Amino acid sequence: MGHSDATASTSDTRDSDALRRAQVVQRIDDERVATLFELTPTPLIAGLVFAALVAFILWPYRPAPVVAGWLLLKFSIGALRLSDVGAFRHSLRSPQATARWRRRAIAMLGMDGACWGAMGVLFMPEQAPGVQTVILASLVGIAGSGVFSCISIARGCVLLVTTVLLPSVVWQLARGTDAGLFAALGLLVYLTLMCVEARRGEARIVEMLRLRFENALIAEERQRAMLLAEHSSAAKSRFLATVSHEVRTPLNGIMGMTQLLQRSAVDAEQQAQLDTIRRSSEHLQTVISDLLDLSRIEFGKLLLDDRPTPLAATVREVTDLLQAVAEDKGLAFHVVLAPGCGKT
**pLDDT category, 18, cuts 50, 70, 90?**
confident
- pLDDT at residue 263 in the model: 77
**Residue 312: pLDDT over 80:** no
Q: Are 295 and 254 in contact (CB under 8 A)?
A: no
- pLDDT at residue 10 in the model: 60
Closest C-alpha among 68, 69, 77 to residue 47: 77
Measured CA to CA, the distance from residue 209 to residue 29 in angstroms comes to: 9
pLDDT, tens digit, 9 for 90 and up, residues 97-113:
888 999 999 999 999 99
Q: How many helices (H) and strands (E) does the chain have?
A: 9, 0
Higher confidence at residue 26 or residue 327?
Answer: 26
Other Cβ atoms within 10 Å of 115 Cβ, number: 21
pLDDT, tens digit, 9 for 90 and up, residues 170-194:
988 888 888 889 989 999 999 999 9
Measured CA to CA, the distance from residue 142 to residue 260 in angstroms comes to: 102
- pLDDT at residue 4 in the model: 55
Positive or negative torsion for Cα 102, 107, 113, 116: negative
**pTM across the whole model:** 0.64
For the chain, how big is the Rg over CA atoms in Å? 42
Give me the chain's average pLDDT, please. 82
Q: Are 241 and 67 in contact (CB under 8 A)?
A: no
- pLDDT at residue 252 in the model: 76
- pLDDT at residue 23 in the model: 82
Mean pLDDT of 69-92: 92
- pLDDT at residue 48 in the model: 92
Give Cα 160 distance to the centre of its chain.
Answer: 32
Measured CA to CA, the distance from residue 344 to residue 302 in angstroms comes to: 24
Q: Are 163 and 110 in contact (CB under 8 A)?
A: yes
Mean pLDDT of 45-57: 90
Q: Which of 3-12, 64-73, 276-285 has the highest mean pLDDT?
A: 64-73
Q: What is the DSSP string of 190-247?
A: HHHHHHHHHHHHHHHHHHHHHHHHHHHHHHHHHHHHHHHHHHHHHHHHHHHHHHHHHH
Measured CA to CA, the distance from residue 105 to residue 190 in angstroms comes to: 24
- pLDDT at residue 302 in the model: 61
Phi first, then psi: what are they for 51, rounded to 5°? -65, -40
**pLDDT category, 73, cuts 50, 70, 90?**
very high
Q: What is the DSSP string of 16-56?
A: HHHHHHHHHHHHHHHHHHHHHHHTSHHHHHHHHHHHHHHHH
**Residue 266: pLDDT over 80:** no
In this structure, of 229-238, 294-303, 304-313, the range with the lowest mean pLDDT score is: 294-303
pLDDT, tens digit, 9 for 90 and up, residues 327-344:
778 788 777 877 766 554
Closest C-alpha among 7, 144, 142 to residue 78: 142
Mean pLDDT of 34-49: 90
